[in-house]
Structure 1
Amino acid sequence: MQSAGLLTAEQLTIVFGNVQELIDVNDKFTEHLQDSIDQAFDRGDEDLLTVSIGEIFLEFVNMLPAFQTYCLQQSAAVNMLNALEKEKELLRIFLDVSQNDNTALRRMNLRSFLMAPLQRVTKYPLLLSRISKATAERHPDHARLREAKSRVESHLEHVNTRTKQEGATWSLRSFRRDSRKSREVVNIEMREMSVRTVGWARESTRFVMEGPLQISQPADGQWARKGSRALKFQNVQSLLMVHDKSSGKFAVLREPIHLGNCVVSADPECDDTFEVLDIRREAFVLRATDKSRTQQWFRQIKRYTRDLGPWRKRRNALPNIMINTAQSRS
């Protein structure tokens, strides 16, 4: 269309939106699924019982914001296409001829093709539900299938909310009867804001944990002796995300804490809290709603921080590696 002078590059961008991103996302999903099928055949699993559809969809959920972007652009795309067809007779003739004479188009008009991604993504919950019903409860993928269905539904409900906020005249079919936002919908909003803040690509971002934490900044590392009761905590929604190389509801509390510059530590005398020390800047004491959740956060964050060796008994919150380095240089 652009080479024929029917549409400018800007008009094409409005009409087709981020369709190339959708193509890339679906190619990646298809490739992952095909790899799993090939591996099953290599193991002699001709019934494909070892293919974890639920696990694949859970990894694919992080790609759903690409569909959201496309959905939010649809009203502008349709309006632009309607206006252009009225203004440009050659464009209207081109679309009519293509629809009737090109067998690959199956006599579908351009608007039908533009709606196809939306129609596809709304079928995923039903597809996952049917696969889940056909999967034995003892199968390791059964729970993941149900979780994937729930998370896809939450994303679709989030898209509905956004389209209403944008004043669109249409929306995806609603998948939840209650008007309250589910926790997953809230988490979706936080993920979107966090990815924009750090500037990471969606496809290389993995969300490890999320949920409420309480945060405090103690003075001079005295919190261990006085105990957590002496600290003033602030409630925050927290998200642990990693960058995999192999204004809205939320506002940024502070600059992101880059775990590559941090040491994480838990004091035996304060098992309901843990500390994240940015070796170049400051320290933070964190805790969750209960000790079990606190320990879960601690283990996950510790996994992604720098391995600076064991901590010595507290003295101004300095890790052993700093002491050992100083001794080796003397």
Structure 2
Amino acid sequence: MRKIKESALLNAEEFDLIFDQIENIYDSNRNFFDSLQQRLNASKNLRFCDILLEHLRLMYPYYQKFFMKQIIAMEVLQNRLDSDKNFATLLREITSETRIHLPLVSYLIKPMQRITKYPLLLEKIYKNTPSSHPDYKDCQEALNFSKKICININEACRRMECFNKLDWIQRKVSFSKHRSLKLIDFNSETRFLGPRTLIRYGVLTKISSSSETLIGLLFNDFLMLIVPDRKQSKLSSINDIFKNKQAIETNYHLYRQPLLLNQFELMNNHQKSSNHSDEKLDSSSTHSSSRTFTIRLKEKDKLVTLKAQSPRDRTQWINDLHQAQQHYFAILNQMEQRKIGLQLSSLTLHQPIGNLFLTLEETVQIYTIEGIRFNRCSMPSGHRERLDKRFK
């Protein structure tokens, strides 16, 4: 770290991102080792799970912060290696000077390898520790806590990865041709499904008289198809758009207005007819390929046939679309039943005994021209002049 910092080949922001929490993780593990060494020197009847439990609780925040940034950090590191020959040469020199000659990337994945081993090791120790042993209870607690750490870190990483992908979509996809959709906030709450999540994404080809390569983005509330701004951008061979430099750096725009999950239906593979076609469909063998699937736009009663990258990819698209729609409709049905229940219960209410006046000052997800939100609800109540509640 010292040589890399002194070289000034990384700016301060890049250095802090790549090596974030590394010193804290090292120091906390060193303290753990020292505590174990002291216990070993002080007693022959070794107990150590109480020490492990104590230090796991101290280490956890450092590991969590480290893993939340690790994906971006690895991308930044790889980009610097690809674009800066001097930086790549420096890392090779540092690698050759180390005792075990491991590259920097290997050291940066060590924290993940270390923390995920604790549940496996503790599981074996716990199974072989008699219940009468003084370390038994602490071993059980340490095992449970280590599992909790791994679960929480995985969830935090998943959320951060989802946030970063939605943020990329926000920055890279233009809505200029659909001005009514310009202010969609991808990293926000949906209307009734909780936080917006990206379920599936990938390259799709629209089967028509002139085949077009698209990027499909399936969220938990709508399906969006986008195309690159530059026609020369070749995306058909890309497996993962978020791991491909060209795809990441490309700008996109909407192919068509996003489709809410209740605005289209998946068609049976054999339910294709020319009178429903969105455009004149190609009659070649590609049209009936095992890689294609069709959706019907309910409002226009038109078919759109899309080709996935492989038969397996097609199956996954169909499954994810089906499951997303099933969940979407289930929530809609619950809301409808709740609405009916409220209407029925209102029939048995007594006559009103008073009035409650509410002043709505701001509403969630309503933006000003500058894109600033101030959410506040004011409500006079009894002797209290105001009751303000901040909320998101």
TM-score normalised by length of structure 1? 0.46
Give the structure, 1 or 2, with the largest relative contact order (CA under 8 Å, sep 6 or more): 1
TM-score normalised by length of structure 2? 0.39
Greater radius of gyration (CA): 2
